[in-house]
Structure 1
């Protein structure tokens, strides 16, 4: 099977004409691009930074039905989410799989909610792969909880959702699937100005930050899929400025901490107006999220030391896991702003996570829509409905949707028996299969051909061959792109300085960097992966 590449399109210079221009290469933009391209439309996707970054990277890695949304009586969202949980395990089997979690000391309301959760997902096991089957919830007593490393709990409800250990790879799989259907895809390309006239948007002027060249993309429909930046994108262009509306008074900040493994079982904690969990992840624990109102500009948000320390205090006060944490226990931390619909108000915890497609024709400007809200779990379903809607509005002819049943590119053939390698041990082979799916043989082949690339540079076995493969085939522009959003090498724990230097050298050999660029990449990546000082 040929390696699934992600070719980067250069948009500088001549005018490009498509049916759909998608602004934003996060999970929403990626899913819309794939849906539209797979149904016969000509698509272009531009992302000013890197694919799957920012909000799409600030995730708890769950693919879930949203048990707590039942408390808000949002049954439709829960039902759709549960159906999409099954769909994503089907179309991305190497990337999404079941995970069990414990809700401590459930009361009557929680037990009723879990029963409803089971009933709403009655078709959850209509999936070919038996390893993706999800059981009904059950109540665990103290002895069973002790066996799961939770000796402080008297009772707990065990239920299952799904997890994606490498969410950036899922975004990439949607983009590669879009590209396989002819979509033009580029990172490092920002929108300079949305263009049009006489009450219609016709595309955008864009700038390629690699070449510095400016180009024009003309489209029948422009989709603003920029998450928390959606309002700012509209406000930055004279033709759409009136569509932007007032600056939101509040957005929702969520951060996560990575620590040593604190519990082998995922455990939920609900307190006050927030919730967080300890999730086993790559032999470590992922703790989060916070739910904090943020009142500043989107581009000014950053993870701060104070936010990390405040979250640690909340964990120590309310956690259902018997641990005490301090800053020295934090291996890594990340976060971002959630793309809530702008009606959230100050109560960001109870704000809807439903996606919304805003057709600005209703405000007098045809040819542009904004995608707001949403989450990973529902991205494909939202994209299907969005393409139906924009096709009707623009008079575009589309074929029936097949995205719920077709394996994503790079995820085909991943139910094979375990691969073998002359250079990689079984642990490295297994994680390469999980990350790269049907491209795993190419990564393993690199390690076998060049033994120096077989060396594992993470605690869970990711080899240097992964970095070289992604540098060659997956449109990475920087070492940070490679370590955080392609390979997973940098998301669990920062590499050593010696490893960073070697990885920068290997990436530079593939991407044409000189010695000055290699040193700059090491410095920038060390800063990106480290904990904040202030």
Structure 2
């Protein structure tokens, strides 16, 4: 790599939703950008969410009106930006008078409907539950409101694709092992986590968007500042959120939001047609964020709350899959409980001695990632020349440039009539118009190559390895798709063998 090629305007450490969002925003403004991620894109917090684009109804109880207003406005933006992976979802909230009075819920929903302009989603309303309700018979009344569903891991990947399409260099399985400020630039040493090869690059500005690891980069001397510098003075509070997935416990398209006596809420969300996604917990966490897992206490908690509401009982034996993530929340030193800690975001910028800027990202939620990214690049614009105007609000994410789902479905069916309906639907909800990339010149299922199971064909896997940085079965089955719920061990092992061959070809 030449010296010219190894010099960037901006280097972003961290390939979660904030890092990839910032990289896309910055590259689209004409900056030369590199992003490094030590694992796979979205492999930590960003793929362990409740899969919702929402304003945060319960945040109103903590008077976070600015955050809720911004998040509600962003719902509308994101629904238009990525209609293939984000779509409207109605929520049913059974009323429990002893937990929250009806007037409190009505007041909250009124604010939820009116804090920001709502053009896509329907208004809230009161509802009655009849004999066919999946809820226990003593739950007769409730409320209904709108939010949005998102494939969180694909949202991360598509932002990385957008960044690459705008000229950014995206390097996964690449760890930042050293970053030293040298007057007006940073000297950064990167290491490939597969072959341990080192790479040295320089950047005019550095962004630490590593989520749960944001302060660890300083304590481990990865980012090295002058001894007198009070780096990363903000504190984060690690809060574990866990989810379980069980066979579908209700037939309707709506999600449920369940109140509990500890003032927390639990979502029960239709998931991948056959399942219900139940979560989340809020548990203080200490330790390595990469080793987080659900505890028996969390499982019992989610099961107990769900069974208090639904006629169909669930037990630990019903759990098909579970996942946990660590949310790096801003520590306000005031909130006694994990659920009360703000989900807002904040920046800290360091330019000691008029040196090259370092920007650290603290907190945040997936719904407001675009605003966070825009604000981060705006913050650095004074330090970087030729930064173009903000652009992401009106731009589709890759694959989202279609009129509506019906029109896209009809067009894909017209061009590829041999595609089974279920497979066509999955392709559209995963890739949108990007599906044409690997369906091009195919005339039959046989043209898609080997089938590994659950309608996962080699053509799709090849696309994911060549264009979306997928390297392992986990990348393919749990982040780029959710087919890990459907493939058995033998099929997954065959996929692993295929990926090893693909990787060897890329390296040769």
| TM-score over 0.5 (shorter chain) | yes
- Among 444, 459, 466, the alignment partner of 1:472 is 466
Corresponding residue SS for 1:397: coil
Q: Which runs of 5+ in 2 are unaligned?
A: 96-100
Which residue does 1:496 correspond to in 2? Answer: 488
1:262 — aligned with what?
249
Greater alpha carbon shift after TM alignment, 301-310 vs 271-280: 301-310
Determine which of 154, 163, 166 is the counterpart of 2:140: 154
Contact kept, 8 Å, 1:194 with 1:201, in 2: the verdict is no
C-alpha distance 353-12 of structure 1, shift in aligned 2 (>3 A)? farther
Q: Is the 8 A contact 2:236 2:329 kept in 1?
A: no
- Distance apart, 1:327 and its partner CA: 1.6
Q: 2:283 aligns with which of 281, 292, 296?
A: 292
Give the aligned partner of residue 223 of structure 1: 207
Of 453, 456, 467, the match for 1:457 = 453
2:70 maps to 1:80: yes
Q: Is the 8 A contact 2:211 2:363 kept in 1?
A: yes
Give the SS at the match of 1:349. helix
**Partner of residue 325, structure 1:** 314
Q: Which moved more, 1:246-255 or 1:153-162?
A: 246-255
Counterpart CA distance in 1 for 2:418 and 2:212 is: 44
The equivalent residue for 2:386 is: 397
Counterparts of residues 171-210 of structure 1 (less than 5 Å): 171-197=156-182, 202-210=186-194
Instruction: State the alpha-carbon separation in 2 of the partners of residues 411 and 110 from structure 1.
Output: 35
- How far apart in 2 are the matches of 1:327 and 1:476? 32
Within a 5 Å distance, the mapping from 1:303-322 to structure 2 comes to 303-315=293-305, 319-322=308-311
* Compared CA separation, residues 12 and 501, structure 1 to 2 (3 A): farther
* Match of residue 129 from structure 1: none
Report how many aligned residue pairs link the two structures.
486
1:527 is matched with none
Distance 2:44 2:439 in 1: 30
1:244-263 residue pairs with structure 2 within 5 A?
250-263=237-250
Quote the residue 2:115 is aligned against: 120
Q: 1:454–1:281: structure 2 CA closer, same or farther, 3 Å change rule?
A: farther
Separation in 2, partners of 1:355, 1:434: 29
Q: CA deviation at 1:365?
A: 7.0
| 1:385 CA drift (Å) | 1.1
Give the secondary-structure state (helix, strand or coil) at the position aligned to 1:338. Answer: strand
Q: Residue 332 of structure 1: CA displacement?
A: 0.4
Change (3 A) 1:489 1:154: same
Match of 1:31 among 17, 21, 26: 21
Q: Does the CA-based 8 Å contact 1:96-1:163 persist in structure 2?
A: yes
Secondary structure of the equivalent of 1:255? Answer: strand
Do the aligned partners of 1:31 and 1:380 also contact (CA within 8 Å) in 2?
Answer: yes
- TM-score between both structures, scaled by the size of structure 2: 0.88
- Residues 13 and 497 of structure 1: is their aligned pair in 2 closer, same or farther, counting only changes over 3 Å? farther
Q: Decide which of 436, 439, 458 is 2:431's aligned counterpart.
A: 436
Unmatched tracts of structure 1, length 5 or more: 1-10, 126-132, 515-534
Tell me the residue number matched to 1:138: 125
Which residue is 1:236 aligned to? Answer: 220
